Amino acid sequence: MNKKVITTTGIIIVILILWFFVVGPILIDKGIIPPAPWEKNEGLVKEIQPFEPSSEGLNEKETNQGVYNSRFPEQKKEDAGKIGYSSELPECPAGAIFNYFPVDKKDIVQIIPVGLMVPPDHTFPAPHAYIYVIDPQHPTENSANLYAPSDMTLKEIGFRRYKEIGPFKNYVDYTLTFSVCKDFDLYFIHVKSLIDPEIAEKAQQSLQKCNFQDLKIGDWCSDITDIKIKSGELIGTIGDAKAGIVGVDIGARDYRINGKDFIRPERNCDLKQRNPTDRCYSVCFFDYLKDELKSGLKFSDLGIERTTAPKCGSVYYDLKNTVQGNWFKKGLPVDPNQMEDDFLFLGPDYLKPEIRVFSVGSSFSNLPSRLYFFNSKNSDYVNTDFKDVIADGNIHCYELKDAREGRSPETFVVILQLTNENTLNIERLDVASCSGTLKFSEPLVFER
């Protein structure tokens, strides 16, 4: 063969290799040329990440304040949380609302009921359920697809930026809030990546405008959207073992119910407008599935299945004129969106409601933030059921356990007194038991 022909053929082959594996991908990535049809996510499960944010591209500010809700300059403050005002939505049906399970059941490790308590982040019962696709006790990498459970409209996309999480820096995951019908909202928190092309494109545009602050605990930014999605469509993926994110939070709000069943609803909810992220109108997503999709569902955590109705849990535990329910450290502002560090919950356990629990935030200098348990016995003012503690002048004493079974190895008790229907005194005492006369020395004061 002619040497000239061989040389020319070799040059052409080199040019083609450079085009397909070097030049072409760069031009596609920059949007100069379109991708091939088979690379457009047409029927393919391919992750679309908006981009890997860095400190250079996120407009950060130095601050030591709490979580900052950084909405965009063109949005008015009073528009925050107004979900469902820009589209015509259908009336909500009387029965089931969802006809597609959001995660393949084969990928699910467990479903945690509404009301999980993990103080200080969730000192109060969490107003959403959880789908785990990774076992938190034995984490191995697994990523599962997230599907639309109904025809819905994406009304808001949120970005949670973590300065550091696991081995990652400037890690971002997504919160997606949907309006399903006129009186029902749904949200997913901790979506790992976005696959739906329209949602991914909107996220890419919005994230670049975020004005994040330099927060250690996680920074927040969001944008209003209006993107329709059909039932069964692939939204994105969930699960990231390296980041410690084992699944997705799934919250539902039904505005048709009496959803303000708190003693002080203004401390738990935004009363001026519908806000899917606060506690009012919280319901269990799984209760609104078609019957055939609910079959065989179990709600559990830590190897314990919740068998008490409602099996999917609740957040409504406030009992007027008793100590049961949600308490706020005295002096806190009336703000339904504040962090839960200085909160205190006294009520039923989220897994075994027959057991009572102290869910303690970070207010106490001598009582670590965690859950403390006891079995009520209603005698001699020792381990009195919270629903039976009233403002009658009596001091009640509690011998607590640090697990649902067994006695705490620490030697202390907790005493409390309801001084009036909305004020609670509480203190840890370093004594072995509730025997003898116990008095307050320096109690913490909580309010409704």
* pLDDT of 379 above 90: no
Give the CB-side neighbour count of residue 65, counting CA atoms within 13 A. Answer: 12
314: its two tokens: 């609740």
State what percent of residues in the chain have pLDDT above 70.
78
What's the N-to-C CA distance of the chain in angstroms?
92
Residues in contact with 46: Cβ distance below 8 Å, sequence separation at least 6, in sequence order: 195
- Please state which of the ranges 75-89, 213-227, 256-270 shows the lowest mean pLDDT: 75-89
Residue ranges covered by each domain of the chain: 3-34, 69-305, 325-447
Mean pLDDT (the chain) is: 84
pLDDT interval class at 377 (50, 70, 90): confident
**In the Cβ-directed half-sphere of 39, how many Cα atoms lie within 13 Å?**
8
Q: How far is CA 187 from CA 74, 127, 249, in A?
A: 24, 11, 8
User: From residue 274, how far is each of 8, 82, 270 by CA, in Å?
Assistant: 69, 6, 7
Give the pairing of strands 219-229 and 247-254.
unpaired
**Per-residue pLDDT tens digits for 28-73:** 444 444 443 333 333 223 334 433 333 333 433 332 222 333 333 3
What count of Cα atoms within 13 Å lies in the side-chain half-sphere of residue 224?
17
Pick the CATH number of 69-305 from 1.10.10.10, 3.40.50.720, 2.60.40.1260, 2.70.70.10: 2.70.70.10
Predicted pLDDT of residue 11: 65
- In the prediction, which pLDDT does 412 show? 92
* pLDDT higher than 70, residue 208: yes
